[in-house]
Copies of this chain bind each other. A is one copy, B any other.
Amino acid sequence: MIDLNESRPLPLYESVYRQLREEISTGQRKAGEKLPSKRTLASQLGISINTVETAYRQLESEGYVEARERSGFYVLPLSVLKQGTVRELQPDYVQHCPKPEIDFAVGAVDEALFPMGIWQRLTRASLNTAGILNRSEAQGDAGLRLEIARYLARARGVHCDPEQILLGPGTDYLMQVLSGLLPECCTFAVENPAYHKAYLHFSRMGHQVLPAKMDGKGVLIEPLEELDNIVVYTAPSHQYPLGFAMPMGRRTALLSWCSRGSFRYVIEDDYDSEFRYDARPLPSLQSIDHLDRVVYLGTMSGVISPSLRISYMILPPALLSSLRKQPVPYSCGISTLSQFTLREFMAQGYFEKHLNRMRVCYKNRRRELEELLRPYEKTLRVIGAQAGSYLLVQIKNGAGERTLCDTALEKGVGVYPISPYFIAEIPPEYRNTVLLGFGNLTSGQMRRGVALLAEAWNL
């Protein structure tokens, strides 16, 4: 119960009520027993009848006693009342999955790289900013959206009004929102493989989803030629998880395909585009889209931290106006503190500094990991290394991905299967492929991890 003592003295009726409730709960007063008449109890305790009345009514309202016409108050069987209690967590509950000793987790971010001191200072400052206890604008803090628009213009050639930007607590959330903006009749053509939750979200919202045919350059246009009311989901700067970039030719072909249909859109998921090493990242599809047919998706998860829960989506004007027409107004669902802090982090230039620092570090780690794997070239092939925070490796020891992951885990090493990313059946050439993330591993850990993998897979 809430202890009211601290803020004001306990009212008389309250102590009477509490004492009687105690006696009923502990069974000192049995079900069916009649409580003393209000007059009797009042004179016994030397308090007013009204006070007793209030206490009895409180007990009644909480189901401890019932009032019987012209008779008085009677204790009810306790069974109708369930005392609030908390069952403690099962010890095995808190950590669902035991972490491997060395975890090549995909999407893990290196805490050591994070400029915590700066972030703490900006957080403190944000807590002192006016409006910190108000909700941000529905689509997200206007200032933060402006910073994101400026950053994307510089880094990705993106051209948008911050009013087109929706912030959300994760890309999944934004994909659900997007899915709700598109007509039921439209079909999603999803890269195969792809971020598999995209596929699940779209179909969950009642849309037809089909795997898009692909070659080494990305989605093939021809098979889509006859279709309309169609949305293509693609990750052109960094095919997920294969890692290659869609060349400019295919990009322009995709956009001109859009122009030939009445309702054709492209969802550009720009995840991991920040980490491209051999040359500057290609400008985004959105940046060369004259027809406003591209929806642009990005996230702060890989760049800052997955724990921040901030992603963004840029809607072309047509979809923005359908958003505005939705019966349930959009709400970005991100704490104002997180938004203010990130806004300042970007506005004061720390964001791009941090990004460059990470890029350099990841580039070195990737090279290091590649070098650690080189001795095993005969039985191990690395793909998709030109970008991103993970590698794909194919093992030619006859084992499939499941065995590869299990045998690795027996040695205490976490590597991850590729099959979940395939919407249709997994092509034979990928059956022996696993993902190795290097975002949060030291040189020592990578060295030890590779050595253990060599044992596990007898490389």
Chain A interface residues (CB < 8 Å from chain B): 1-4, 6-8, 14, 54, 57-58, 60-63, 80-90, 93-94, 96, 109, 111, 114, 116, 119-120, 123-124, 127, 132-137, 142, 146, 149-150, 152-163, 169-170, 172-173, 180, 197, 200-201, 204, 206, 247-248, 252, 279-280, 282-283, 287-290, 305-309, 327-328, 331, 333-338, 352-353, 355-357, 359-360
The reply to whether A307 and B80 form a contact with Cβ atoms under 8 Å apart is no
* Chain B residues within 8 Å of A283, by CB: 62-63, 81, 84
The reply to whether A157 and B248 form a contact with Cβ atoms under 8 Å apart is no
Residue of chain B at shortest CB distance from A108: B134
* Chain B residues within 8 Å of A306, by CB: 133-135
The reply to whether B338 and A335 form a contact with Cβ atoms under 8 Å apart is yes
Q: Which 8 A-B pairs have the closest CB atoms?
A: A169-B333, A84-B153, A307-B336, A84-B157, A7-B356, A87-B161, A86-B149, A133-B305
Known: A6-B353, A62-B283, A335-B335. 5 other contacts (CB 8 A): A4-B356, A83-B157, A114-B133, A307-B336, A308-B335
Q: Measured between alpha carbons, how far is A360 from B85 in the docked complex, in Å?
A: 27
Number of copies: 2
* Chain B residues within 8 Å of A335, by CB: 307-309, 334-335, 338
Q: Measured between alpha carbons, how far is A163 from B356 in the docked complex, in Å?
A: 40
Listed by A's residue number, 10 A-B pairs whose Cβ atoms lie within 8 Å are A1-B280, A61-B248, A81-B283, A84-B156, A94-B142, A109-B133, A136-B307, A173-B333, A200-B327, A309-B333
Q: A327: shortest Cβ distance to chain B, in Å? A: 5
Q: Which of A86, A114, A146 has the most CB of B within 10 A?
A: A86
Answer whether A81 and B280 are a contact pair too, CB < 8 Å, given A124-B120, A170-B331, A200-B327: no
Q: Measured between alpha carbons, how far is A334 from B308 in the docked complex, in Å?
A: 8
Q: A163: shortest Cβ distance to chain B, in Å? A: 6
Q: Measured between alpha carbons, how far is A283 from B150 in the docked complex, in Å?
A: 51
Residue of chain B at shortest CB distance from A306: B135
* Chain B residues within 8 Å of A357, by CB: 7
* Chain B residues within 8 Å of A127, by CB: 116, 119-120, 123
Residue of chain B at shortest CB distance from A301: B135
Q: A100: shortest Cβ distance to chain B, in Å? A: 15
* Chain B residues within 8 Å of A161, by CB: 86-87, 89
* Chain B residues within 8 Å of A150, by CB: 86
The reply to whether B248 and A154 form a contact with Cβ atoms under 8 Å apart is no
Q: Out of B133, B134, B146, B280, name the residue touching A86 (CB < 8 Å).
A: B146
* Chain B residues within 8 Å of A61, by CB: 247-248, 279, 282
The reply to whether B159 and A82 form a contact with Cβ atoms under 8 Å apart is yes
* Chain B residues within 8 Å of A60, by CB: 248
The reply to whether B204 and A327 form a contact with Cβ atoms under 8 Å apart is yes
Q: Measured between alpha carbons, how far is A335 from B335 in the docked complex, in Å?
A: 8
* Chain B residues within 8 Å of A89, by CB: 142, 146, 161-163
